[in-house]
Structure 1
Amino acid sequence: MKAWFALLALLLVSACARAPLEPRADRAARDFYAAVEAGDWARVEAALAPELARTAQGRAGFQRLRAALPRGGAREARAVGWSRAGEGGLQAVHLYRFAHSDVVVRTTLRPHGGNLRVASFVAQRQPLGQVEANRFTFAGKTPRHYSFLATALLSPLIMVAVAAMAAMARGLRFKLAWMALALVGVGEAWFNWTTGEGGFSFAALSLVNVGFGRDTDISPWLIRFSLPAGALLVLARLATLKERRLA
């Protein structure tokens, strides 16, 4: 059973693989971090967006940020994610690994004059081991983890199976409508694979809603799915039809 879970998880992880960060944005974000780390304020100001460049507040903020960065140089640096930002820009996320801690850097880049300029720059230190703890693994997981994953995988299968039953049901009028109803999910359950925390929101209505992903390559995996309420209604309708045929 555990092997089947591992195979399904591998397929889901592969399906959620994101496109790599474009080289120009990767280089711009890395160069900016290097300038901040070195205290090269001329390079920092030259790379900033016009609304941020050459302000006393901005320079003081970068000085405080630089003072909080680990010393000694990173032993590893790599892009771990990115997302679209406003005004045609993007936010690049990089991981810098040091001897005693990790630093996650989020750099928002926007096009200006043919170049990418830095619109925001946030660096957050993380304890060692946090990146590894967020990997998708079955080591040390509880029955709650397995039950939630199994339910998330079963939910869309139930929806599709009931829709197929509606399509083949004899005497069922408005089949297309009943088939569509079978695919409707109500609410959304979510589960953090790293921490084991979860929750449920009733304020959601969707079609075959199941999700498995994370914001960056170092974030916790989140599993989401909706309850197959529409499928239950269709099953009730099919049961009524069967009773009438047998009557």
Structure 2
Amino acid sequence: MRLGALIPLLACVLSACGVPQTPEAFNKTPEAQFLRVVVDKLAVREFAFIESQLDPKLVEPDVRSALERTAAALPAEAVAAVQPVAWRVGVSTNGPRTATVAAEYAYPSSKWFVVSAQLTGEAGSFRILRLNVEPLPAPMAQLNAFTFQGKGAMHYAFFLFTLSAFALSVYAFVQCLRTKGIRRKWLWAIFTLLGFCAFTLNWSSGAVSINPLSFNLFSAGFGRAGWVGPWGLTFCIPIGAIVFLWKHRHVANTPPIGG
């Protein structure tokens, strides 16, 4: 299947699962609308309403004081803009529906907050399992922008390794297609595109993670968490490309033996 046909198919699958594809769609979800109501109620100190929405497991003697501290951090002004951060819904056959939702709220006074909540129950009867408010020094889109400004040697090294792994996989793939006399060429072609043992760099924090059991197509990966989360840069050891180029390094100079 061509990539051009795969992308619309993936979008249809995500839509069928109810995953919002745009900020507008996110803001129309019951979870995002409920979270906005909670934020607005916090801003005007309507703590009784929020307490009525808490799951019984969360109710503790100091809930009111915790809500007061949280509300004190929010500006006493209307929200200027909302940016989706995360949205995930889980449905269990032996438990209630749960959802994790997070949004960035921008205020006219150049202040930004990420508010996240874990909810349980159906739309119209949500209960809050967890609520967190975190101030930001700047919008998340700016904090998590993919830029080399202020980056160190690790970022440049990862960028170089990722490009190199990708280029080597593509080169080996093309060479495989162009080389005559290779048995099971289609298997070799697929193998040249596979990289194993993933090294991932969180572009914002600089944290590195290693997954020895992972593999990537084209021996590289580039993506972000959610709409405005940190970018992740991944490279794998291009074992398929290395094995092919080594094993068939003299094939081009020998007569075909089959295909």
Instruction: Tell me whether the two structures share a fold, i.e. TM-score over 0.5.
Output: yes
Structure with bigger helix share is 1
Give the TM interval when normalised to the shorter protein: 0.7 to 0.9
Deviation at 1:184, TM superposition (A): 1.8
The whole-number CA distance in structure 2 between the counterparts of 1:133 and 1:112 is: 34
What residue number does 1:72 align with?
A: 76
Which of 195, 203, 212 is 2:212 aligned to? 203
**Length-normalised TM-score, structure 1:** 0.72
| SS of corresponding position for 1:73 | coil
| SS of corresponding position for 2:90 | coil
C-alpha contact 2:202 2:208 (8 A) present in aligned 1: no
Q: Which runs of 5+ in 2 are unaligned?
A: 1-10, 12-19, 92-96
Deviation at 1:241, TM superposition (A): 3.1
- Aligned CA RMSD, in angstroms, stands at 3.5
Q: Percent identity?
A: 23
Deviation at 1:128, TM superposition (A): 4.0
Query: What is the identity, as a one-letter code, of the residue corresponding to 2:183?
Result: R
C-alpha contact 1:188 1:224 (8 A) present in aligned 2: yes
What residue number does 2:40 align with?
A: 34
C-alpha contact 1:82 1:90 (8 A) present in aligned 2: no
The whole-number CA distance in structure 1 between the counterparts of 2:124 and 2:76 is: 34
Deviation at 1:38, TM superposition (A): 2.5
The whole-number CA distance in structure 2 between the counterparts of 1:47 and 1:201 is: 40
Written as runs of structure 1 = structure 2, the 5 A alignment for 1:215-234 is 215-234=225-244
Which of 46, 71, 74 is 2:52 aligned to? 46
The whole-number CA distance in structure 1 between the counterparts of 2:79 and 2:122 is: 32
**Length-normalised TM-score, structure 2:** 0.70
CA 1:59–1:144: 2 relative to 1, 3 Å: closer
Residue 91 (structure 1) aligned with residue 100 (structure 2): yes
The whole-number CA distance in structure 1 between the counterparts of 2:174 and 2:204 is: 36
Deviation at 1:227, TM superposition (A): 2.6
Which string of whole-angstrom CA distances, capped at 9 and with x for unpartnered residues, describes residues 128-174 of structure 1?
47652322345566787566445434534532442343244323223
Aligned length: 228
